[in-house]
Structure 1
């Protein structure tokens, strides 16, 4: 069943896309005329929010997503949420679902997507030699997710945010540096270089060649281009995967309109304080009621 909320005319989507993208982005460019092919699988009412269980086409395969919409009419702020790689229960589009439902009460439309690391055993089974191409594809899929989010009725294109955790933060840095539609970003527990996390499982056949190939995609390369958007970095002081040096490097690369907070927490950053600070930042930057 196709959703009456998410299927707008192709001509409208294309006009919005052409207005936003003034330049090509090399390997990250994509066919903006390709249909999103949104399919709604179910609908659930949660308080004053409506949660649409749907799929849309990213590059070639359907992507699972939740679209959370408020009851009140627009204009609406909008948030794209991208999950972490960690606890299997939240290594998917559900990680920020409760937050998105709560923010719907403040007039926010949210899209929460499954990234490639939502697949079971993704990290251990991935082929390092495919990391570059898969990473490019993931960035394109995040840009397609923004297309879908911004096509929702009543969304204010000037009040868009991106929230990402772990790999969700890292790929968000790349997508944001290429695609300037978000006004603000929240990055949680990401590292500045892919090689920092690339070697924990399968090893590349040629490490030197792998380093040369993946280095141009390092998230820290794209962080400076996020400006003039604001950036909030959330890190943990008990994080076994992100050092204070790595956190400082990511923060230093951003423009002047930024903030970094380090919490007494682990890599999951699933504490009430972290969530409260994140929501307060989003409320301030998006002008929420």
Structure 2
């Protein structure tokens, strides 16, 4: 079951520039200056920030960037996954990755998402309103990234996993200047997981519920990115199957797609991360 959202935080250790928690799980990290991972020893700043969103509570986020105010920095917005009971299902998911990328001239913003993490779907138009409100918060997080000194607005990307990937796809439609997205294990439609894991609607009500999200489903947004979309899927994923992968392939024929046959939905293998970083490095022109 994927419901009953739980946000976890564990003790933090700093190991060669990567943030890990007890037992090896990635975790929340203290704000401050840390060395970048990898060959670069550039100092990286990690700040805990709040992003104002009109009509909503401020969004908590990590801001990760190289020290200093050099121009020509790339920008990445990281949107985490949803998996109750997993310590990485919050804004910490991509924190180690963002720290490593900062050593290559990247500023990252990692916002904490709240729907459906902190609120259950209810089965009507209020769910569309909740998705739209979360998307508005994500959009303000992206605008906060663009406002960071040194960030080149022409060299930005969004990376998302699971529900985070779905919000990432919708963000690219809301922000036409955002032309690069990495989507890890997204579902094609908002209604599917909401219904399957929370609502269990009668068959006669399912079509009407899907219609609630008309024009908002992630699968309808990725095609506009062309070759600027990179989809990473897991072959052993119990939440995202061949039918969903086929829907995205049909909607975005120019997108790059990687299928990792032995991976599960968390897509946590080092090779998956390395493929993602290599693709971003090429798209964003990263040094190092």
Q: TM-score, normalised by structure 1?
A: 0.79
SS at match of 2:281: helix
1:196 to 2:223 alignment = no
CA-CA distance at 1:89 after TM superposition: 0.8
In structure 1, what is the Cα distance between the partners aligned to 2:241 and 2:192? 10
1:212 to 2:211 alignment = yes
Provide the residue aligned with 2:78 in structure 1.
81
1:57 to 2:49 alignment = no
Provide the residue aligned with 2:239 in structure 1.
241
Provide the residue aligned with 2:285 in structure 1.
287
SS at match of 1:215: coil
Contact map agreement 2:82 2:117 (CA 8 A) in 1: no
Q: TM-score, normalised by structure 2?
A: 0.79
Provide the residue aligned with 1:45 in structure 2.
33
In structure 1, what is the Cα distance between the partners aligned to 2:151 and 2:213? 35
Aligned pair partner of 2:138 in 136, 139, 142: 142
In structure 1, what is the Cα distance between the partners aligned to 2:246 and 2:170? 18
In structure 2, what is the Cα distance between the partners aligned to 1:169 and 1:193? 11
In structure 1, what is the Cα distance between the partners aligned to 2:177 and 2:253? 16
Contact map agreement 1:188 1:233 (CA 8 A) in 2: yes
SS at match of 1:164: strand
Q: Please list, as runs of the form range in 1=range in 2, the aligned pairs for 1:152-191 lying within 5 A after superposition.
A: 152-191=148-187
In structure 1, what is the Cα distance between the partners aligned to 2:225 and 2:89? 26
SS at match of 2:198: coil
Distance 1:245 1:208, change over 3 A: closer
CA-CA distance at 1:250 after TM superposition: 1.0
- The alignment yields a C-alpha RMSD, in angstroms, of 1.9
CA-CA distance at 1:118 after TM superposition: 7.2
Provide the residue aligned with 1:262 in structure 2.
259
What CA deviation, in whole Å up to 9, does each residue of 1:188-238 have, x standing for no partner?
A: 0001112221211234595443222123321112222234x6111000000
CA-CA distance at 1:79 after TM superposition: 0.1
CA-CA distance at 1:90 after TM superposition: 1.2
In structure 2, what is the Cα distance between the partners aligned to 1:173 and 1:138? 13
Contact map agreement 1:78 1:160 (CA 8 A) in 2: yes
In structure 1, what is the Cα distance between the partners aligned to 2:247 and 2:210? 19
Provide the residue aligned with 2:12 in structure 1.
none
Task: Give ranges in structure 1 of 5+ residues lacking alignment.
Answer: 1-41
In structure 1, what is the Cα distance between the partners aligned to 2:178 and 2:211? 30
In structure 2, what is the Cα distance between the partners aligned to 1:112 and 1:232? 19
Contact map agreement 2:95 2:110 (CA 8 A) in 1: yes
CA-CA distance at 1:255 after TM superposition: 5.4
SS at match of 1:201: helix
SS at match of 1:216: coil
Contact map agreement 1:193 1:215 (CA 8 A) in 2: no
Distance 1:284 1:141, change over 3 A: same
CA-CA distance at 1:128 after TM superposition: 2.5
Aligned residues: 243
